[in-house]
Amino acid sequence: MTTGSIRGRMKRRHMSARRLAVKGGGPVTPATERPGVGPPGEDALFAIDQTGQWIRSADTKAGLLGAALSVLATGVAAEAAKSGVPVLDAASVRESLSGWLLIILAAFLVIAIALTVKTVSPRISTPRYRSRYSWPWLNAMDPMELSRLGSTNSRHEAWVQAIYLAGVAEAKHRSLRLALRFFAAAGVLFLLWSALR
């Protein structure tokens, strides 16, 4: 089979697929999926959707971290109850070190829990600029003013909201990253403390 005949066959298949799509008998790529085609402002709405997904991702990870923190905190509390109150000025260096480790471990757990709570806590501040896509703005907006909003500023307002949500996503991920670090440090300290007891 020659290269020319292969190309000819591929071209015929492509043309028949296009005819089918035009007649409504086949899959047509929606305008929203074709690059450069779609209603104005679609890029900004896509950015809002993506930043919303980043926020949900941070909240989901924080929920999983919260569950892990509660397991670790329960384990620390149970082991501390068995071993009793730590003696910091004990004659044994081992007992004194164990006591200090427990105190630092408890502090790290408290910090990790606080950062996890900060991650999942809702952000209800109003963006600096007006945006019909921001629920704090919508809540404060008069219904008559809402009906007067035209479509000319829609794209700008969508980008305002996308930028605001990106800031929320960044703050959540920063808190989550710090919480994970303190959780990891608390886990290492728990292992050291368990070995010293």
92 — alpha (psi -120 to 50), left (phi > 0) or beta?
beta
Instruction: State which H helix or E strand residue 111 sits in.
Output: helix 93-120
18 occurs within a structural domain: no
**How many domains is the chain partitioned into structurally?**
1
On the CB side of 94, CA atoms within 13 Å amount to 4
| Structural domain boundaries enclosing 146 | 41-196
30 occurs within a structural domain: no
pLDDT at 132: 80
pLDDT in single tens digits along all 197 residues of the chain: 554 554 455 455 444 444 444 444 444 344 444 444 456 578 888 999 999 999 999 999 999 999 999 999 999 998 888 876 565 555 677 778 888 899 999 999 999 999 999 999 988 877 777 788 888 887 777 777 767 777 667 888 888 889 999 999 999 999 999 999 999 999 999 999 888 87
- Residues with Cβ within 8 Å of residue 20, at least 6 apart in sequence: 26
The rounded Cα 161 to chain-centroid distance in angstroms is 16
Comparing C-alpha atoms, which of 142, 141, 80, 146 is closest to residue 109?
80
9 occurs within a structural domain: no
5 occurs within a structural domain: no
54 occurs within a structural domain: yes
137 occurs within a structural domain: yes
Radius of gyration of the CA atoms of the chain, in A: 29
22 occurs within a structural domain: no
CA distance 183 to 185: 5
pLDDT at 21: 41
Inter-CA distances, 108 with 4, 84, 178, Å: 71, 20, 11
pLDDT at 87: 58
28 occurs within a structural domain: no
